[in-house]
Amino acid sequence: MVGTSITAVSAPGKVLLAGGYLVLDRDFTGLVFGLDARIHVCIEKLKTTNGVDLQEIIVKSPQFVGAVWEYGYRSTENNGGVEVTQLRVSSQDKLLRNPFVETTLSYALTYISTLTTGAISPASITILADNSYYTTDSTLKDQSNNQKFSSFGVKLSEAHKTGLGSSAALVSSLTGALLLHYLPSDKFSLDNDLGKSRLHNLAQAAHCAAQGKVGSGFDVASAVYGSCLYRRFSPSLLQNHGSPGSSNFAKDLKSLIEETTASHKWDTEILKDAVKVPSGIRLIMCDVDCGSQTPGMVKKVLEWRKREPDEAEMLWSQLHSKNEALAAELKRLAEEAENTDYTKLKQAITDIRILIRDMSRLSDVPIEPTPQMALLDACSEIGGVIGGVVPGAGGYDAIALLVEDKKSVISNVQKLISTWKVEAYKDGEGGPSIGKVSLLAVREEMEGIRVENVQDASYEKWIV
């Protein structure tokens, strides 16, 4: 039985159904759905021999081969916060870094150190990912056997991601677990808006630092809050707070997280009430076992926008209008429970795809590549499938479909993709080869980060 002293926290994955690229600009919004595929983080006090005083945190991701990271930590001078250093087990070992874990530890422990005078005790952390985050033969088999967590059988660096936002869900759940583990409930709780707000701000700061750039943050927002209509924060918020160990980093980070100065007021807009899903509709996703290089695609699209500002602005404004129409129609259908006419919803999705293909052509970026377009078109012909998109930045990640919530519809989609053959590229279009198409065991999730029951049997074999 898993010990009751363990704290377990999970955060959902995401799918940016509408607002890809636009969400980078504060003038526009993104319609983002949380997913019921979650990253789980379990933390407990590290057991040590009597009389031995360690400043060490061990992080394990036991679903992967060799995924163990050991860190030492220390408080720095001049209010520089907590520095985290990866340790070598032996001089022969090569350090395999995990910047998302390492950076999150440093940011979270620094913030914790500003709220408590006690020593930060050593800890053992276990990270577990729902099967849908990665594509392997074992995950497909275990999904059919209703296994929540699989042994992926490969090194983390060799795993095929499905594009569900694993890094944002990891940073958010790890941040939440650390805060709950080390802070008393009067200093931090996930049961109130203040706690979630501070968690969100801290996770955004850590995630951007780990990436080495300031992103839009929609993935962290959905990991904390769940499905929402999202408007990004001003990038200047995260550009001048220094780095762990630098003078006054702890003071500046606390001010940023708690918004104690005018220059640290977060202008993010997270509208939960603007997103609703009608009871007769659900979201499903089909993985193409490939994946795209999002940063390179974003760079090319932004270069086009800078090169052709008038052309880009007109298209982005049109796309923004259609994206908002999609959110509004979903909400209208949800509030009119008896309404099952999805004509306007189908048209909203069609309009978005047309404009996305225009953006793809004008920027010369494969946002909706030919193989993905063919797959979406074929799925959309199935009765009960309302429509679908290549979400987020597009490319070769999993496609998202809105469908009528009926077993027969899901079954027919499954039949189509089980024998799906990808045609050769036409007109000289290049790109990665699409592998086997499979239905991911995910659907939309309105809830964001949450505390989990540590006695859940799914954890039993993994936390040792």
Residues 301-336 as b/e (b if ≥16 CB within 10 A, e otherwise) read: beebbeeeeeebeebbeebbebbbbbbebbbebbee
What is the C-alpha to C-alpha distance for residues 296 and 72, in angstroms, rounded to an integer?
34
Residue 96's pLDDT is what? 83
For 282-338, the pLDDT digits (tens) are 999 998 866 555 668 899 999 999 999 999 999 999 999 999 999 999 999 999 877
Q: Measuring CA to CA, how many Å separate 126 from each of 123, 153, 218, 240, 400?
A: 10, 17, 25, 32, 30
Contact predicate 7/42, CB 8 Å: yes
| pLDDT given at position 33 | 96
If we measure between CA atoms, which residue out of 112, 135, 406 comes closest to residue 284?
406
Element (H, E) at 202: helix 193-211
In this structure, what token pair is assigned to residue 364?
């010369």
Q: What angle do CA 382, 390, 39 make, to 5 degrees?
A: 105
Cβ–Cβ < 8 Å for 125, 43: yes
Q: Kindly list the strands in the beta sheet with 438-440, ordered across the sheet, starting from the edge strand earlier in the chain.
A: 385-389, 399-404, 281-287, 438-440
Q: How far apart are CA 117 and CA 70, in angstroms?
A: 24
Contact of 450 with 190, CB cutoff 8 Å: yes
Alpha-carbon span 168 to 104, nearest angstrom:
11
For residue 455, give the DSSP letter.
T
Query: What pLDDT, on the 0 to 100 scale, is given for residue 426?
Result: 47
Segments in the chain below pLDDT 50: 1, 138-142, 424-428
Query: Sign of the CA dihedral 151, 154, 157, 159?
Result: negative
- Predicted local confidence at residue 147, as pLDDT: 77
Asked if residue 385 lies in contact with residue 370, where contact means CB atoms within 8 angstroms, the answer is: no
Q: pLDDT value at position 402?
A: 97
Q: What's the pLDDT score for residue 427?
A: 41
33's enclosing H/E stretch is strand 30-45
Torsion of the alpha carbons at 86, 89, 94 and 95, rounded to the nearest 10? -10
**Chain centroid to CA 121:** 29
| Domains, in order of start, for the chain | 7-272+448-459 (3.30.230.10), 281-445 (3.30.70.890)
C-alpha distances in Å from residue 329, one per residue of 278, 288, 349, 403: 10, 29, 11, 15
- pLDDT value, residue 119: 84
Task: Please give the Cα distance from 201 to 186 (Å, whole number).
Answer: 19
